[in-house]
Structure 1
Amino acid sequence: MLGSNVSKTLRESNATKNSSCRSVSVGFPITMMVTGMVGNALALLLVYISYRKKENKRKKSFLLCIGSLALTDLFGQLLTSPIVISVYRADLKWERIDPSGKLCAFFGVCMTTFGLCALFLASAMAIERAMAITNPHWYSNHMKTSVTKQTLAVIWGLVLLFALLPIAGVGKYTRQWPGTWCFISTGDSKTPGNKFFATTFAVLGIFSLLVTLSCNVVTIRGLILRCKTKSGASQASRQWERLTTETVIQLLGIMCVLLICWSPLLVLMLRMISTQVSSHECNSTLVAPVNGTSRDLQLDCNFFLTAIRMASLNQILDPWVYLLLREILLRKFCIMANAVSNCSLEDGKESPTALDALNKQNQESKDLCKPQSN
């Protein structure tokens, strides 16, 4: 009698926990899908309009990279978020929507492909910026739009081939805690090549982060050095200083977002691989007595879920840190600059020549308010 009461209490507790988790967490994928679609769709629209107007090859290469990143993030949201929402609607029972298990493999391929593609595209743009700043003459002579398109195609192709390795029998995708998503198994030592596949993903991600951070540091250093050589009281010097400041702030923002969003997942993956722990094991510990081992495993699983959500958050932040926020900040700066200029005119210190210069400055400010290449 006592045993049945305990079992009933545990079942009710687990049902309450699952219901609470479902009611709270289902809003996360819905919010991410909506915000991701809006931000990346705006970025794609802006890139498309700007790409048709630009004749400069350097700016076209930059716009192609930004557009590819926005398209990657948008498809990543569209292909994965509806599946997660469907699992929540099925009371967290994946088998209801995927009895064959093929959808789990598809989900894992999407997570791996869009995750690594976003990291590699960020690295490609960081390399492109570093070359444009440190060696502008070589860049302008050799960097063509066709080269950019080929590079983007190679990145996509290689990452997709890597993500399909578990389908070919190398590695494994498994459902992860709390059973609403699938990803690379970090603790299955029986599957051939699983440890190699999981470790390679984490190492490639960390390598991509290091490349992006290193190239951005080189770019920032090059911008500051060129800004010092162009220092002066001329209008061109002031504009260069302003653009340098904005670009440096943007690059620092990109570096912070990448580190905060991706470092927890990649580092935790390496840790779980070394200890042969996978978050899908948490499903078997819910009804077991809570001891030290299960408590540590549950903490790892909860942290792994938080880490993957932070990595997914990068898909939402990408269009803002790369393009949309830069556009907004530029427009605000231009409005403030024009207001200051108009105030100086009201003081009666201007001349017809100064007025002509002001009109020219206003026109240049409007041009700067358009998307700029880094």
Structure 2
Amino acid sequence: MGNASVDSGSEDCESRQWLTSDESPAISSVMFSAGVLGNLIALALLARRWRGDPGRGAGGRSAISLFHVLVTELVFTDLLGTCLISPVVLASYARNQTLVALAPGSRVCTYFAFSMTFFSLATMLMLFAMALERYLAIGHPYFYQRHFSRRRGLAVLPVIYTASLLFCSLPLLDYGQFVQYCPGTWCFIRHGRTAYLQLYATVLLLLILAVLACNFSVILNLIRMHRRGRRSRCGPSPGSGRGGPGPRRRGERTSVAEEADHLILLAIMTITFAVCSLPFTIFAYMNETFSRKKKWDLQALRFLSINSIIDPWVFAILRPPVLRLMRSVLCCRISSRTQDAAAHTSCSTPSSASKQADLCGQS
């Protein structure tokens, strides 16, 4: 998407009508195809889970959770954004015209810039909702069980869309401005004229930090759960007590394993968004002239667009067998670090044998 010269300055980019002869739609086409294919695969896998897995519980209804409701909404958001944004770029290449020339009054440019800001913010808010849901489910289970459900999870999407719509509409109300950037196939918030670009980047950065804080809290709580499970095995034998605690412990092991799966999935998605949004954050706070010389604007857009392509592929690739393998690798490292300490406990032998049952057990 662009080897156009940036030496002519931003004014030339904002008013350019035609693409240069060396512009190629190859990168945009690949990104669009990968995004649509990945999101469709992810939605198909989620639809299969929504229909229920006969091998899991009565009718398989237990296979879907609030977390998976939020994942479905995230994948839907990514697919919608890809389908509403990428065809505009491809139309620009097909007609060899820039976005401001495709329609009178730069309407296409405004539409593209608004869509980019809207779906990027909505994606980050969805990741925050997923991280907050995991934090409350693990750290505050009683509050979570009383106030959260799958039905309420369905209301998250319209709430996030409404908040994103209000915030991203500020340039339409003359706070900030949408303009065209080189090579003319994309538009975004104007750099340097108002503080809106920095405000937008700051909001994304704060959301990333909030997600990381929630994930870190979940990790600490999972470690505590794992240690409590080990200590409980140092007490009475599994067969003692009324009714025996065997089934309950088996349920706890499954719960910890499932929470670890959710955490791995969420952590990878969060890291992906953080990496993809880093060039944009740098671009937002850079000097405008320096940014143009280094072509940070073009790189920032590409990285921001890549996130919606990677997210569904992460979900599609990290299926339960892959997650179990990743948990096993993590558990092997945990076991090697704690082997010496476990050897000095009174129940070192059963603890060693079942140490991976909590976190490494199959979900």
> Structure 2 length as normaliser, TM-score?
0.71
The question of whether the paired residues in 1 share the 8 Å contact of 2:43 and 2:72 is answered with: yes
Q: Deviations over 1:183-202 (max 9, x none)?
A: 111123xxxxxx24323211
Structure 1 residue 307 corresponds to structure 2 residue 300:
yes
Aligned position for 2:268: 253
Q: Which amino acid aligns with 1:256?
A: I
Aligned position for 1:43: 42
Give 2:282's match in structure 1, choosing from 257, 267, 279.
267
Return 90-99 or 258-267, whichever deviates more.
90-99
Structure 1 residue 164 corresponds to structure 2 residue 169:
yes
SS in structure 1 at match of 2:105: coil
Question: How big is the alpha-carbon RMSD for the aligned residues of Structure 1 and Structure 2?
Answer: 3.0
Q: Deviations over 1:107-136 (max 9, x none)?
A: 111011101000000000000011111122
CA-CA distance at 1:38 after TM superposition: 1.1
- 1:249–1:148 CA distance, 2 compared to 1 (3 A): closer
Structure 1 residue 174 corresponds to structure 2 residue 179:
yes
> Structure 1 length as normaliser, TM-score?
0.69
Aligned position for 1:87: 92
- 1:107–1:42 CA distance, 2 compared to 1 (3 A): same
- 1:328–1:176 CA distance, 2 compared to 1 (3 A): farther
Give the Cα separation in 2 of the matches to 1:198 and 1:209: 17
CA-CA distance at 1:258 after TM superposition: 2.0
- 1:333–1:207 CA distance, 2 compared to 1 (3 A): closer
Give the Cα separation in 2 of the matches to 1:326 and 1:304: 32
**Structure richer in helix, relative to its length:** 1
- 1:117–1:244 CA distance, 2 compared to 1 (3 A): closer
SS in structure 2 at match of 1:230: helix
Aligned position for 2:21: 19
CA-CA distance at 1:317 after TM superposition: 1.2
Aligned position for 2:243: none
Aligned position for 2:346: none
The question of whether the paired residues in 2 share the 8 Å contact of 1:224 and 1:244 is answered with: no
- 1:183–1:331 CA distance, 2 compared to 1 (3 A): closer
Give the Cα separation in 2 of the matches to 1:244 and 1:41: 25
- 1:298–1:166 CA distance, 2 compared to 1 (3 A): closer
Give the Cα separation in 1 of the matches to 2:46 and 2:259: 22
Q: Deviations over 1:219-262 (max 9, x none)?
A: 11111221122236999477667556545543442332122111
* Structure 1 gap ranges (5+): 1-16, 189-194, 278-292, 337-364, 369-374
Q: Which amino acid aligns with 1:268?
A: F
Give 1:105's match in structure 2, choosing from 106, 110, 119.
110
Q: Which amino acid aligns with 2:223?
A: I
Q: Which amino acid aligns with 2:293?
A: L
Aligned position for 2:292: 298
SS in structure 2 at match of 1:265: helix
The question of whether the paired residues in 1 share the 8 Å contact of 2:100 and 2:107 is answered with: no
Aligned position for 1:342: none
Aligned position for 1:324: 316
- 1:333–1:198 CA distance, 2 compared to 1 (3 A): closer
The question of whether the paired residues in 1 share the 8 Å contact of 2:131 and 2:266 is answered with: no
SS in structure 1 at match of 2:207: helix
Give the Cα separation in 1 of the matches to 2:74 and 2:42: 10
* Structure 2 gap ranges (5+): 1-18, 53-59, 235-245, 329-360
Aligned position for 2:199: 200
Identical positions, percent: 27
The question of whether the paired residues in 1 share the 8 Å contact of 2:38 and 2:313 is answered with: yes
Q: Which amino acid aligns with 1:126?
A: A
- 1:227–1:165 CA distance, 2 compared to 1 (3 A): same
SS in structure 1 at match of 2:91: helix
Aligned position for 2:137: 132
SS in structure 2 at match of 1:19: coil
Return 33-42 or 233-242, whichever deviates more.
233-242
SS in structure 2 at match of 1:105: helix
CA-CA distance at 1:177 after TM superposition: 1.8
Aligned position for 1:356: none
SS in structure 2 at match of 1:154: helix
Ranked by relative contact order (alpha carbons within 8 Å, sequence separation 6 or more), the top structure is 2
- 1:134–1:153 CA distance, 2 compared to 1 (3 A): same
Give 1:148's match in structure 2, choosing from 133, 149, 153.
153
The question of whether the paired residues in 2 share the 8 Å contact of 1:126 and 1:216 is answered with: yes
Give the Cα separation in 2 of the matches to 1:74 and 1:120: 16
The question of whether the paired residues in 2 share the 8 Å contact of 1:134 and 1:222 is answered with: yes
